[in-house]
Amino acid sequence: MSDQLEIALEAAFAEATRRYRERGFQRRVGFGSQPALISVDLANAWTRPGNPFTCEHVDDRIIPSMQTLLAAFRKYDFPVVHVTTCYEVTDRQNPHTDMGLWHHKIPVEVVSQGDPSLWSIDSRIAPVPGELTLIKKRASAFHGTYLAGYLRAAGVDTILVTGVTASACVRETICDGLADGFRTIAVKEAIGDRVPGAVLWNLFDIDAKFGDVETTQTCVDYLDRIGAPRLRQARKAA
């Protein structure tokens, strides 16, 4: 059923793409000169089985793509930010909970800050020294966090966004990233969701209005193109 849905959606989006382009949508924001990787909610509660937040295609698509991207970012020492979500006060009756009103919609109480095993980044793509782990409380990695300031201080002009979910936290991060003045790139194979079809629909809509959807290989080629000359220069200077 999932494969059939994807085939049907791809056919529908081919026609929708034609209509959008006729109206001037799907322009390119393009890659800049200083990238950062923003990995959204690829923590155990989303990547491992048995949690309400567990997503599809983690093992066969998202993790391998992330491993490829991380290798390239680390090779050229470009910034990497691992974003996760957890809540310190999970009592829904407590008016001072850091969940705000979101608990009225989704089971955010299952990612208690008191249990790091839930919100720790998946060990297969775990942060290495020099990479940030940022805790957010809302969907967007920018909302109420220091992310934009950190990126600007590092001179970043382009964010490659990965993670879950396409319909919520990834999408909101991309929209806010563009609004905050960053070139936004959604890495196609490294984005997932819990519901069949949600990834295809959201990536189509993101590509039409909020950022460029690019393949993992295209992103790696870009990193090689701008990173290799810098690496050679640094080696000569050393």
Specify the CATH superfamily of domain 1-11+32-42+67-80+154-230: Isochorismatase-like (3.40.50.850)
User: For position 1, what pLDDT does the model report?
Assistant: 45
Q: Which of 135, 145, 9 is nearest to 84 (CA)?
A: 135
pLDDT in tens, 113-164: 999 999 999 999 999 999 999 999 999 999 999 999 999 999 999 999 999 9
Other beta carbons less than 10 A from residue 30's beta carbon: 10
CA torsion sign for 33, 182, 136, 169 is: negative
79 - beta bridge partners?
Answer: none
Specify whether the CB–CB gap between 60 and 67 falls below 8 A. Answer: no
Q: Which three-class secondary structure state does DSSP give residue 223?
A: helix
Region for residue 52 given its phi and psi (left: phi exceeds 0; alpha: psi -120 to 50; beta: otherwise): alpha
Q: Is residue 55 annotated as part of the catalytic site, yes or no?
A: no
User: For position 2, what pLDDT does the model report?
Assistant: 67
Q: Give the start-to-end residue ranges of the domains of the chain.
A: 1-11+32-42+67-80+154-230
Catalytic residue among 86, 169, 175, 219: 169
Instruction: Report the C-alpha gap between 60 and 175 in whole angstroms.
Output: 27
Q: Which amino acid is at 74?
A: R
Check whether 5 has a pLDDT greater than 80: no
**pLDDT above 70 as % of the chain:** 99
C-alpha dist (Å) from residue 112 to 108, 118, 119: 8, 7, 8
